[in-house]
């Protein structure tokens, strides 16, 4: 085994000095496995040293890991999904894109290019293929080095603030560049499967701390003689649906963002909420509140106060004069055509392209339009009853035309003092 390691290291050095598109002579699977293990050991040592250098740069304050792609993936996906992505799927795709073409024999795009000259006859096609093949082997070392550099440099996008890191990006991508050289060696000398397995093990080894650490999702629970409240951070895809339920002695918020919770308690739309930390505002929660008092009365401020305590923010209000709309009845006969006597509850769905409002009074219709357009909408006209209205909400002009021509309603430009909520995190 030791002799196999020595011969592998010697062959690697010789190859990297002058890469050639030439596979290794026949070896048994056992010998190939030993060679692969030797390359893995080199990869661990070299990448480990590179990470020490990168960590020193981070400690010097030149950049931060806070916005690294892996950190964001951990916050957005369960660890099982992340494992599949970074250990299996991504290595497979990256090997196909960055290293499969390193053997001329399997470079189907290049060979397809040569075959296109068959239009000029078989002899012309054969001459072109010889020229392409000759150029490939003559310039192969540059092709190989370029593939390793490209693989490394593309990983600068893992850093959220990569535009500010251009001056040190060669250092930040050293682990990927070194892997590009080692993976390329295995691909050429053995086969693509060996470079893929090395890639999978590389990611597993160096990303295992991320898999093992806490993903940053917090759980808070408080129990007193009067109530129990539990706040649990969740990822966006870990819960099946968003819902809110209120009972005589309890509250449930399922998959609610912090901005939605503040909107709920402040009785304003989310567009009226401003913050100095949008990332924290976008956190998702499951919240359960249970009242223990026999009276059945419930202190609904407990949840909001607990959020303020745990996430250290202050809430302030400010009135601003902003442009708004007034929803007025233009044609009562048209509007009454969409009146409903259904006893079912109201249903409002606001999407990117449409706003659907069923069995809702005019005040709720105004509020739904307000939520879809991020603009204050007042309803001064009073007409009893509930209505079914469906609008194309993507374009404001089109929505106004629909309201007028179909429903007999009109949006009139106005201005209002609107209450904005400002959330200041410490």
- Report yes or no: 199 and 93 within 8 Å, Cβ to Cβ: no
Q: What is the pLDDT of residues 283-309, one digit of tens each?
A: 888 888 888 876 556 677 888 888 888
Give the count of domains, the chain: 3
Shared-domain flag, residues 385 and 343: yes
Task: Let me know whether 259 and 408 are in one domain.
Answer: no
Residue 72: exposure state from Cβ atoms within 10 A (0-12, 13-18, ≥19) = middle
Are 145 and 25 in the same domain? yes
93 and 174 in a common domain? yes
**Whether residue 8 is found in the same domain as residue 151:** yes
Q: Measured between alpha carbons, how far is 148 from 161 in angstroms, rounded to an integer? A: 23
325 neighbors 378 (Cβ within 8 angstroms): yes
Predicted pLDDT at 260: 85
Q: What range defines the domain where residue 255 resides?
A: 219-267+279-306
Residues 58, 29: one domain? yes
| Domain assignment of residue 425, yes or no | no
Smallest Cα–Cα separation from 389: which of 334, 426, 325?
Answer: 334
Residues 69-122 have pLDDT tens digits of 776 666 556 677 788 888 999 999 999 999 999 999 888 888 787 777 767 777
Q: What is the full per-residue pLDDT of the chain (426 aa) written as tens digits?
A: 677 778 889 999 999 999 999 999 888 898 899 999 999 999 999 999 988 888 887 777 676 665 567 766 665 566 777 888 889 999 999 999 999 999 998 888 887 877 777 677 778 778 888 888 899 999 999 999 999 999 999 988 887 666 667 778 788 889 999 999 999 999 999 999 999 999 999 999 988 876 665 555 677 788 888 888 888 887 765 554 677 777 777 888 888 888 888 888 888 888 788 899 888 888 888 888 888 876 556 677 888 888 888 888 899 998 888 888 888 898 999 999 999 988 777 777 766 677 888 888 888 888 777 766 667 788 877 788 889 988 876 677 888 888 889 999 988 888 878 888 899 998
Asked if residue 313 is part of any domain, the answer here is no
Q: Is residue 426 part of a domain?
A: no
Give the residue from 212, 227, 243 where a domain finishes.
212
**What pLDDT is stored for residue 303 in this prediction?**
86
- 111 and 228 share a domain? no
| 225 in the same domain as 207 | no
The answer to whether residues 335 and 409 touch, using CB atoms and an 8 Å cutoff, is yes
Do 197 and 246 have their domain in common? no
Neighbours of 382 (CB within 10 A): 9
Its pTM surpasses 0.75: no
Rounded alpha-carbon distances, angstroms, from residue 185 to 16, 35, 96, 108:
8, 11, 15, 20
| Residue 273 included in any domain | no
Residue 316 in any domain: the answer is no
Q: Does residue 112 share a domain with residue 132?
A: yes
Q: Is the domain of 188 the same as that of 88?
A: yes
- What does the pLDDT look like over 172-199, one tens digit per residue? 889 999 999 999 999 999 999 999 999 9
Answer yes or no: is 272 within a domain.
no
Q: Is residue 180 part of a domain?
A: yes
In a domain, 21, yes or no: yes
Both 198 and 235 in one domain: the answer is no
């Amino acid at each position: 085994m030791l002799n196999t390691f020595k011969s592998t290291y010697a062959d690697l050095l010789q190859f990297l000095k002058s890469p050639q598109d030439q596979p290794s002579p026949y070896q048994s699977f056992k010998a190939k496995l030993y060679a692969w293990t030797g390359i893995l050991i080199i990869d661990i040592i070299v990448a480990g040293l590179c990470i020490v250098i990168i960590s020193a740069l981070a400690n010097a304050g030149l950049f931060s890991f806070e916005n690294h792609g892996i950190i964001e993936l951990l916050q957005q996906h369960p660890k099982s999904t992340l494992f599949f992505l970074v250990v299996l799927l991504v290595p497979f795709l990256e090997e196909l894109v960055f290293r499969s073409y390193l053997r001329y024999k399997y470079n189907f795009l290049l060979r397809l290019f040569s075959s296109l000259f068959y239009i000029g006859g078989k002899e012309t096609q054969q001459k072109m293929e010889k020229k392409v093949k000759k150029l490939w082997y003559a310039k192969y070392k540059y092709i190989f080095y370029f593939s390793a550099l490209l693989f490394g440099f593309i990983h600068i996008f893992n850093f959220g603030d990569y535009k500010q890191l251009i001056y040190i990006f060669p250092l930040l991508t050293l682990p990927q560049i070194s892997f590009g050289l080692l993976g390329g060696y295995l691909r050429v000398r053995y086969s693509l499967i060996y470079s893929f397995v090395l890639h999978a093990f590389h990611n597993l080894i160096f990303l295992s701390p991320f898999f093992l650490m806490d993903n940053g999702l917090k759980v808070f629970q408080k129990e007193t003689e009067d109530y129990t409240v539990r706040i649990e951070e969740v990822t966006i895809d870990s819960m099946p649906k968003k819902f809110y339920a209120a009972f005589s002695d309890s509250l449930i918020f399922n998959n609610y963002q912090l901005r939605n919770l503040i909107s709920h308690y402040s009785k304003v739309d989310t567009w009226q909420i401003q913050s100095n930390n949008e990332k924290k505002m976008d956190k998702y929660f499951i919240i359960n509140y249970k009242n223990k008092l026999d009276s059945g009365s419930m202190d609904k401020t407990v949840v909001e106060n607990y959020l303020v305590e745990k996430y250290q923010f202050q809430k302030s209000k400010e009135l601003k004069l902003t442009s708004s709309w007034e929803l007025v009845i233009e044609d009562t006969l048209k509007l009454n055509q969409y009146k409903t006597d259904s006893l079912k509850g109201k249903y409002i769905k606001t999407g990117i392209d449409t706003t659907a409002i069923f069995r809702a009074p005019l005040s709720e219709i105004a509020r739904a339009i307000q939520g879809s357009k991020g603009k204050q909408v007042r309803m001064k006209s009073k007409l009893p009853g509930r209505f079914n209205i469906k609008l194309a909400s993507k374009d404001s002009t089109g929505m106004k035309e629909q309201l007028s021509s179909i429903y007999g309603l009109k949006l009139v430009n106005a201005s209002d003092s609107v209450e904005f909520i400002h959330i200041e995190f410490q």
